[in-house]
C-alpha cells in the first residue's frame, strides 16, 4: 500500500491540517531514513526472541495499513483468525501484543497479572492528566495501590452507589419529562443526544456536584456548558493520532502541527475550572453534614484534610482522579444505553418481553426504586447481552508489560503494549452459541457474569486493572433502561431503517444517532 494511501486512512485520526504541507518539506527523507535505522536496531535487539506470529509489516508504518482497513477491533479479529489468538503487530516501530481468546486473556489478567499491569504512556494522557497521576494511567506499584484503595473504598463502594440514587432519580426524571413533552408533538427525538446528556449529568453531579449539560436558561453562569465543551475536547484529544507516541524522537512534529499546543491549552482551561470547583467545595466543606450525599470532590478534600493517607493527595492528584471518574462514567454509560435501545428496537419480540417484565413488576407504581429493578431479571439479561455484543471499550484499556514474560511458549519483551480484544472474545464461536445474534435468553439461569471471573465475558476488564466503576455504571444503565421501557412505547420513524453500524471514538458508538418516536404509556388507567 502506497504511503499517500496510508496517510489518507490516518487522516481522521491526525487532527493536523498541515499534513500535506509537511510531507512536501525536504526534511521528510532524513526522517524516514532515521526511522529505518531505528527499526533495524529494534530488529537486531529482538532477533533471538521467540515472538508470537506477526502479519508482514511495512517499513516505517509497521502494520498500520492493515489495522486501519477497518475499525481496530474488527481488523485485529480478522488478523487473529489468520495468525492466531496471540499476535504481534507494530504501530510504527512500537510493538504491540493482541490477545483474542478467553484462555489467553485469563493468563494475561490472572496468571501473569502483575507483569501485564502497567499502562502505556501517551503524550495526551501525560499532559491532560497531570503526568498520569490518575488511577487509569499510572503504572502498577504502591502509588497505584493506594490510589485504587481510595477510589474503591471511598468513591466507588456499594454504599456510594446506593447514596447516589437520588442523583439518578432526579436526572432520569428530567429525561422522562423532556421525552413526555416531545410526545405532545408526536415527532421523532434524538435519543442518542438525550442519553449522553443524562449520563453526563449523573456522572458530573456525583463527581463535581454540578451538571455539565445545562438546560437552556439554566446554570446561572456557573460554567457548566463550558466544562462540558472542554471535557468533550479532552476526550477527542485523548484518542487523536500523535507522532510522538509512535516515534518518540519525532515529537517535534506534534509541536509543529499544533497538537501539543492544543493539549496544553485544553489542560490549562480544564485545570482552571477544576481549581475553581475544588475551591468552592473547600469553602463549603465544614457546612456539608450530609455525608451520604457528598460528591467526590468533598470526599477527596476530607481525605486530604484528615492526612491519614499513605500517599500525598495533592491538588493535581485530586484533579486527575476527578477527571478519571468523570470520563470513565460518561461516554461508556451513554454508549451502552444507546446500544440497548437500538437492539430492542431491532427486535420487537425482545422489546415486548422487556416491557412486560418492567410493567409487571411495577404494577402501576409512579416511581421506580432499586428494589424494583432487583426483580427485573430479563432486563439484566438484555443489558448483559448488549455488553457482550457491544462492549463500550472493545479493546479494553491497553496494558504494557512491566518485565519480560513468557506467554503460551512465546517471549514477550518488557515495554510491549498489550491489547485484549474483548470484542472478539465475546463473539468467539468456540465459546458462544450463535455469537453474532442478540439473544438475552442465553444469560437466563447462566452464572456467567461481567465481574472479571469469566474471561469469555470481560466488558469491564478483569484482574488488578479491571474497571473499579462497574457497579456505578450498571446502576445507571439499569435505572435509565427501566424508566424508558416503563413510561414509553418506542418505534422508528416511518420509513427509517435501523443502522447498526459502529463508529470509532472514545467508545464504540453507533455511527448514526438513534432517532425514535416515543408514545407515552400510562401505568395508571385513566
Residues annotated as binding site for heme? 467
Instruction: Give the C-alpha separation, 304 to 314, whole Å.
Output: 8
Instruction: Give the C-alpha separation, 336 to 340, whole Å.
Output: 6
Crossing angle (nearest 10°) for helices 224-238 and 191-208: 100
Crossing angle (nearest 10°) for helices 331-346 and 470-487: 40
> In this structure, are residues 476 and 168 in contact, taking their beta carbons and an 8 Å threshold?
yes
Please report which residue ranges of 409-506 form alpha helices under DSSP H.
422-425, 470-487
Supply the DSSP symbol for 521: -
Terminal alpha carbon distance of the chain: 67
Q: How many CA atoms lie within 13 A of 446 on its CB side?
A: 17
Residue 394 has which C-alpha cell?
A: 472493545
Residue 136 has which C-alpha cell?
A: 487509569
Distances (CA, A) of 55 to 76, 113, 380, 457, 523: 11, 26, 40, 27, 58
φ, ψ of residue 412 in degrees (nearest 5)? -115, 110
- Specify whether the backbone of 50 is left (phi greater than 0), alpha (psi in -120 to 50) or beta: beta
Instruction: Give the C-alpha separation, 412 to 407, whole Å.
Output: 7
- Specify whether the backbone of 139 is left (phi greater than 0), alpha (psi in -120 to 50) or beta: beta
Q: Decide: helix, strand or coil at residue 458.
A: coil
Q: Which residues are annotated as a binding site?
A: 467
| Beta strand extents in 308-428 (DSSP E only) | 399-400, 405-407, 410-412, 417-420
Q: Decide: helix, strand or coil at residue 512.
A: coil
Amino acid at each position: 500500500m502506497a504511503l499517500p494511501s496510508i496517510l489518507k486512512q490516518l487522516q481522521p485520526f491526525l487532527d493536523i491540517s498541515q499534513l500535506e504541507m509537511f510531507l512536501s518539506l525536504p526534511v521528510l527523507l532524513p526522517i524516514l531514513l532515521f526511522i529505518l535505522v531505528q527499526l533495524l536496531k529494534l530488529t537486531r535487539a529482538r532477533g533471538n526472541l521467540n515472538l508470537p506470529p506477526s502479519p508482514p509489516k511495512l517499513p516505517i508504518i509497521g502494520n498500520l495499513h492493515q489495522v486501519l482497513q477497518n475499525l481496530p477491533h474488527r481488523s485485529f479479529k480478522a488478523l487473529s483468525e489468520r495468525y492466531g489468538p496471540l499476535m504481534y503487530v507494530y504501530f510504527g516501530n512500537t510493538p504491540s501484543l493482541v490477545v483474542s481468546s478467553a484462555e489467553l486473556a485469563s493468563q494475561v489478567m490472572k496468571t501473569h497479572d502483575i507483569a501485564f499491569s502497567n499502562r502505556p504512556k501517551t503524550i495526551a494522557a501525560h499532559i491532560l492528566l497531570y503526568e498520569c497521576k490518575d488511577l487509569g494511567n499510572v503504572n502498577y506499584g504502591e502509588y497505584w495501590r493506594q490510589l485504587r484503595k481510595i477510589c474503591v473504598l471511598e468513591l466507588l463502594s456499594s454504599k456510594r452507589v446506593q447514596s447516589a440514587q437520588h442523583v439518578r432519580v432526579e436526572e432520569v426524571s428530567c429525561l422522562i419529562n423532556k421525552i413526555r413533552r416531545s410526545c405532545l408533538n408526536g415527532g421523532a427525538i434524538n435519543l442518542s443526544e438525550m442519553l449522553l446528556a443524562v449520563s453526563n449529568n449523573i456522572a458530573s453531579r456525583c463527581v463535581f456536584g454540578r451538571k455539565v449539560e445545562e438546560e437552556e436558561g439554566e446554570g446561572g453562569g456557573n460554567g457548566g456548558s463550558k466544562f462540558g465543551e472542554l471535557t468533550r475536547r479532552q476526550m477527542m484529544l485523548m484518542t487523536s493520532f500523535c507522532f510522538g507516541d509512535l516515534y518518540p524522537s519525532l515529537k517535534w512534529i506534534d509541536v509543529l502541527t499544533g497538537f501539543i499546543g492544543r493539549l496544553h491549552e485544553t489542560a490549562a482551561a480544564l485545570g482552571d475550572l477544576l481549581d475553581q470547583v475544588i475551591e468552592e467545595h473547600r469553602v463549603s466543606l465544614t457546612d456539608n453534614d450530609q455525608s451520604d450525599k457528598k460528591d467526590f470532590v468533598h470526599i477527596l478534600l476530607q481525605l486530604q484534610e484528615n492526612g491519614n493517607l499513605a500517599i500525598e493527595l495533592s491538588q493535581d492528584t485530586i484533579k486527575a482522579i476527578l477527571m478519571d471518574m468523570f470520563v470513565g462514567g460518561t461516554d461508556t454509560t451513554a454508549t451502552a444505553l444507546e446500544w440497548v435501545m437500538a437492539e430492542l428496537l431491532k427486535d420487537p419480540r425482545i422489546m415486548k418481553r422487556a416491557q412486560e417484565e418492567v410493567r409487571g413488576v411495577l404494577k402501576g407504581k409512579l416511581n421506580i426504586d432499586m428494589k424494583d429493578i432487583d426483580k427485573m431479571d430479563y432486563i439484566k439479561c438484555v443489558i448483559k447481552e448488549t455488553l457482550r455484543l457491544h462492549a463500550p471499550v472493545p479493546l479494553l484499556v491497553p496494558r504494557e508489560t512491566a518485565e519480560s514474560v513468557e506467554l503460551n511458549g512465546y517471549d514477550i519483551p518488557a515495554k510491549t503494549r498489550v491489547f485484549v480484544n474483548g470484542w472478539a472474545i465475546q463473539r468467539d464461536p468456540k465459546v458462544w452459541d450463535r455469537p453474532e445474534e442478540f439473544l438475552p435468553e442465553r444469560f437466563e439461569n447462566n452464572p456467567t457474569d461481567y465481574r472479571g471471573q469469566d474471561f469469555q465475558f470481560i466488558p469491564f476488564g478483569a484482574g488488578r486493572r479491571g474497571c473499579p466503576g462497574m457497579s456505578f455504571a450498571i446502576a445507571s444503565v439499569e435505572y435509565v433502561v427501566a424508566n424508558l421501557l416503563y413510561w414509553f412505547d418506542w418505534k422508528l420513524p416511518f420509513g427509517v431503517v435501523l443502522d447498526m453500524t459502529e463508529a470509532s471514538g472514545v467508545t464504540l458508538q453507533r455511527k448514526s444517532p438513534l432517532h425514535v418516536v416515543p408514545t407515552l404509556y400510562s401505568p395508571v388507567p385513566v
